[in-house]
């Protein structure tokens, strides 16, 4: 099932017809039908050593022969050679309806041993009874450890002489307790071996023995294959995973290999250790993470261009890269200066193969209040800087030229007109380079969690969470970069076709669109009209009311006097505290009392106002929330509003009733 070993070495046994033999081979010849035991034989054509093959008698079918080697070698080697199983001794065979289990039953019956078995279902237990005559009281379940008391009861507390074990974990230890004095246990499984599992040493004091067995090692030596043909049913390959098969599954290869359905396997992504890669602005949190990923992908020569390149704050990071065998060059300068860009290029110790433009500056301010310096400085890094890069490397034979843009260039963002304009330029420059036949791609990146610029400003991060912005995780960022690098190459000839396919990451929200607290601007954009991020059916779209609060409101509607109970206020307070925790990550490790006493800022007040309207059905002004100041005080105010709300309903109900009587 892909748990162990080399996935390219699928299959350990098989049968087939020899097509060619080596010059020194005299026992086998082309046309011979053989059975074989060797690694990686689940193929239409395979090359194996002659000593791993045995010629088949004419009466043995290839289908029968293919099922025999591993199960009978395992059974005979373990029961006869290792365990020395004798007549009238007892043996416990786990998973007895598997291929090894059935072969072990046959070997044990030939020896004359008393057989106990475990299986995974009642159907399999019935099969053993009918096929091999094993009494029902000697067949147990392999799904749990109930076989241990069953074995001890059947053997009067003695246990069995031999256990052929394929179970793991607690069931392995239960099997070990089934071994009688002077008994032997043979371990076929690998899970506990590979996890360095522990074994109780006490049973060894009763002259018990424990053996490990690995058939793959025997496959590297000259195996002895017994010819015991058997009947077998052919199942679909998926049947094996369901644990309902008995015996072994036969995979039959077609006579014409080309008739097999095939799919293209993409080669694993990697970067070259023999070229240089240039990162502009790559000495921040985002750049650190990307650099580490590039090294993991094989890169060994990195050049950085950054205004802070000479800062000692980067020493530990650069030292870490060098310890991984990297050659690192840091150039202090700005990408807006063409001479600084050329200086960085001269630092490349190997041919330049890739460029990453990560530089960015944020100067957020409403457009009508933005001054010229805030506008131009933000544009310079992205627009002028990337243009300088384009001109400087235009004659280089690059594998990729990736620029990091932002989703603000795709759908805009409040207070970021300058940043949106600069990122729009990057998308256009990518188009332009591709029209010239030059490699180019763009990553339109949303807010990145933990390693992005947003994490340097807790207030901005809080605003993003409050607006239901879904933060991009590091793994998503790296996958997006991989896609962009793979998309970067283009045709060698210039083209007039618009071919750029920007990779957009993080343009989504963390809450359903039906949630009244969702305030993302792009939801109003017609280009995203087909996008839906709704809760699953039955989940109550947009409903954030807890079961506890919902139950309270139902009871209060029947009996408003319940609002005088301090527990009612406590329930409302708990819900308000949850809202604060959701929008303020720094409160996650604080207890309820601490959060209830925290001051509510203006942004949090907006979120709470929306929540109170949706879940309590109350209209509380921002001024009143500000006056309350804390979640605890606001809970008291909310309860008073609820009292007023339900007392009004009660009075209206009485008035309606009076009208009906007097009319």
User: CA 396, CA 303: separation in Å to the nearest integer?
Assistant: 16
> Sign of the CA dihedral 592, 597, 598, 602?
positive
pLDDT (mean) for 581-590: 67
2: pLDDT strictly greater than 70:
no
What 551-555 contacts at long range (C-beta under 8 Å, 24+ apart), as own/partner pairs, is: 553/616
Among residues 56, 450, 409, the alpha carbon closest in space to that of 228 is found at: 56
Phi-psi group of 248: left, alpha or beta (phi > 0 → left; psi -120 to 50 → alpha; rest → beta): beta
Share above pLDDT 70 across residues of the chain, in percent, rounded to a whole number? 76
User: CA 423, CA 532: separation in Å to the nearest integer?
Assistant: 26
CB 386 within 8 A of CB 357: yes
Tokens for 2? 């892909």
Looking at residue 228, its pLDDT comes to 36
Residue 109: which H helix or E strand, with range? helix 99-111
Residue 462: which H helix or E strand, with range? helix 458-466
Among residues 447, 583, 424, the alpha carbon closest in space to that of 506 is found at: 447
Looking at residue 357, its pLDDT comes to 94
Share above pLDDT 90 across residues of the chain, in percent, rounded to a whole number? 28
Residue 2 phi, psi (nearest 5): 80, 15
Tokens for 649? 């309903």
Phi-psi group of 471: left, alpha or beta (phi > 0 → left; psi -120 to 50 → alpha; rest → beta): beta
CB 297 within 8 A of CB 269: yes
pLDDT (mean) for 430-457: 80
517: pLDDT strictly greater than 70:
no
3-state secondary structure of 303: strand
The overall longest dimension of the chain from CA atoms, in Å, is 118
Q: What residues are paired with 16 via a beta bridge? A: 34
User: CA 368, CA 24: separation in Å to the nearest integer?
Assistant: 89
Contacts of 660 (CB under 8 A, 6+ apart): none
108: pLDDT strictly greater than 90:
yes
Looking at residue 498, its pLDDT comes to 53
Looking at residue 493, its pLDDT comes to 61
Looking at residue 537, its pLDDT comes to 39
pTM > 0.85: yes or no? no
Q: Which residue has the higher pLDDT, 23 or 264?
A: 23
Q: What is the dihedral of CA 152, 154, 157, 163, to 10 degrees?
A: -50
> Sign of the CA dihedral 46, 47, 53, 55?
positive
Among residues 233, 223, 219, the alpha carbon closest in space to that of 67 is found at: 233
């Amino acid at each position: 099932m892909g748990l162990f070993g080399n996935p390219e070495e699928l299959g350990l046994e098989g049968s087939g017809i020899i097509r060619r033999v080596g010059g020194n081979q005299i026992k086998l010849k082309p046309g011979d039908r053989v059975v074989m035991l060797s690694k990686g034989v689940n193929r239409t054509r395979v090359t194996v050593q002659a000593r791993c093959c045995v010629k088949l008698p004419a009466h043995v079918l290839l289908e029968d022969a293919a099922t025999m080697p591993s199960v009978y070698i395992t059974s005979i080697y373990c029961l006869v050679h290792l365990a020395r199983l004798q007549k009238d001794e007892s043996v416990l065979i786990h998973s007895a309806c598997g291929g090894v289990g059935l072969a072990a039953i046959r070997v044990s019956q030939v020896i004359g041993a008393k057989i106990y078995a475990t299986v995974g279902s009642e159907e399999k237990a019935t099969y053993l009874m009918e096929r091999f005559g094993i009494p029902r009281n000697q067949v147990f379940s392999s799904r749990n450890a109930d076989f241990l008391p069953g074995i001890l009861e059947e053997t009067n507390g003695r246990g069995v002489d031999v256990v052929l074990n394929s179970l793991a974990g607690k069931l392995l230890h239960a099997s070990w307790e089934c071994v009688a004095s002077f008994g032997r246990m043979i371990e076929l499984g690998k899970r506990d071996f590979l996890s360095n599992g522990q074994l109780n040493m006490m049973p060894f004091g009763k002259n018990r023995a424990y053996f490990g067995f690995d058939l793959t090692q025997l496959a590297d030596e000259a195996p002895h294959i017994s010819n015991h043909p058997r009947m077998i049913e052919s199942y679909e390959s998926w049947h094996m995973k369901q644990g309902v098969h008995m015996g072994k599954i036969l995979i039959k290869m077609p006579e014409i290999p080309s008739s097999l359905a095939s799919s293209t396997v993409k080669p694993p992504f990697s970067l070259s250790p023999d070229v240089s890669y240039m990162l502009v602005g790559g000495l921040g949190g985002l750049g650190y993470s990307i650099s580490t990923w590039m090294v993991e992908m094989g890169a060994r020569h990195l050049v950085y261009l950054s205004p802070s390149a000479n800062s000692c704050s980067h020493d530990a990071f650069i030292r870490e890269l060098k310890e991984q065998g990297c050659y690192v060059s840091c150039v202090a300068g700005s990408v807006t200066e063409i001479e600084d860009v050329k200086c960085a290029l001269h630092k490349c110790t190997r041919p330049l193969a890739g460029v990453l433009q990560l530089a960015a500056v944020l100067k957020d301010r409403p457009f009508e209040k933005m001054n010229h310096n805030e506008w131009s400085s933000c544009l310079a890094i992205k627009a002028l800087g990337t243009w300088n890069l384009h001109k400087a490397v235009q004659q280089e034979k690059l594998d990729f030229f990736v620029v990091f843009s932002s989703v603000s260039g795709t759908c805009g963002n409040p207070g970021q007109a300058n940043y949106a304009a600069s990122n729009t330029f990057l998308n256009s420059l990518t188009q332009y380079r591709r029209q010239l036949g030059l490699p180019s791609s763009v990553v339109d990146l949303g807010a990145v969690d933990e390693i992005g610029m947003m994490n340097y400003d807790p207030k901005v991060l809080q605003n993003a969470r409050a607006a239901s912005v879904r933060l991009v995780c590091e793994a998503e960022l790296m996958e997006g970069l991989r896609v962009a690098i793979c998309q970067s190459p283009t045709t060698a000839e210039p083209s007039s076709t618009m071919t750029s396919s920007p990779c957009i990451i993080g343009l989504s929200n963390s809450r359903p669109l039906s949630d009244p607290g969702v305030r993302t601007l792009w939801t109003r954009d017609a280009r995203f009209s087909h996008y839906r991020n709704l809760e699953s059916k039955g989940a109550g779209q947009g409903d954030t009311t807890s079961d506890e609060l919902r139950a309270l409101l139902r009871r209060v509607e029947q009996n408003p006097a319940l609002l005088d109970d301090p527990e009612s206020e406590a329930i409302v307070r708990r819900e308000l505290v949850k809202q604060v925790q959701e929008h303020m990550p720094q409160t996650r490790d604080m207890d309820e009392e601490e959060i209830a006493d925290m001051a509510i800022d203006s942004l949090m007040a907006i979120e709470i106002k929306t929540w109170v309207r949706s879940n309590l059905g109350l209209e509380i002004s921002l001024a009143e929330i500000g006056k309350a100041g804390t979640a605890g005080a606001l809970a008291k105010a909310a309860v008073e509003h609820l009292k007023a709300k339900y007392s009004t309903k009660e009075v209206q109900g009485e008035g309606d009733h009076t009208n009906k009587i007097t009319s």
